[in-house]
Structure 1
Amino acid sequence: MELNTIKPADGAKKPRRRVGRGIGSGLGKTAGRGHKGQKSRAGGYHKVGFEGGQMPLQRRLPKRGFKSQSLKFNGEVTLASLEKLGAAEVDLLSLKAAGLVAQNVKTVKVINTGSLSRAVKLTGIGATAGAKAAIEAAGGSLA
């Protein structure tokens, strides 16, 4: 095979449609647009979703809220799960390794559920006000 012998496959290239070039072409006179009406005129067509003046579907349906796509990157850890973990220092990687948060999580927050009796040092992890007070009361810290 040579570069100068390469051709497209049979039927791959069709000649462009030349409208309005006489009755012999099959697309003369009205050029395949039919007779009269908005769609037959140059520049005359409606916008997407237009229903001839009837209230369009996207306006007939009730408005609903949305689910933020950034929520899937946030994780939560309870004080009780930190207690079970048994580590003195906790960061995002150790939580992922323990399976407490998903692998695609980027930010983690400790919430005040359960109790904490050991001192735990948190690095790069947020905490709610109640959880922060419980961690510091147990002798731990947040960095």
Structure 2
Amino acid sequence: MRLHSIAPKPGSKKRKRRLGRGVAAGQGASAGKGMRGQKSRSGGSTRPGFEGGQMPLYRRLPKLKHFTVINRKEYTIINVAKLASLPANTEVTLASLKEAGIVTGNNKNPLKILGTGDINVAINVKAAAFTASARTKIEAAGGSCVVITGRQ
């Protein structure tokens, strides 16, 4: 193979349309762009995203990094470190945490256990959700994690 013998495959290169070169050329006069209007003029059309003066979609959307999740789940959250003060073999629920004074106020949301802190007491936790680190710490201390659904 030599440099002078390199050529594209036959039929792979199409000839460029020559627009506006007379009626006999097939694309004469209006060059296939119709009669009048903004799209027929030289300089092309409108910019991408332009909606004819209407407020474009990219400006109508909220200017935030994220959209808020509608009907998102809200939890009453407790860290594992707070559960370390409980006695061994205690059954932990949202109601028992309210009685112990660990959770205060009128918390109607289901309980979620987070993994911040350490625990060395074996406790049985019944909650709506656990983080992976919280589950491993509770089970490593000899406790158990039970996921409950519905109202607590």
Rg larger in structure: 2
TM-score (norm 1): 0.49
TM-score (norm 2): 0.47
Higher helix share: 1
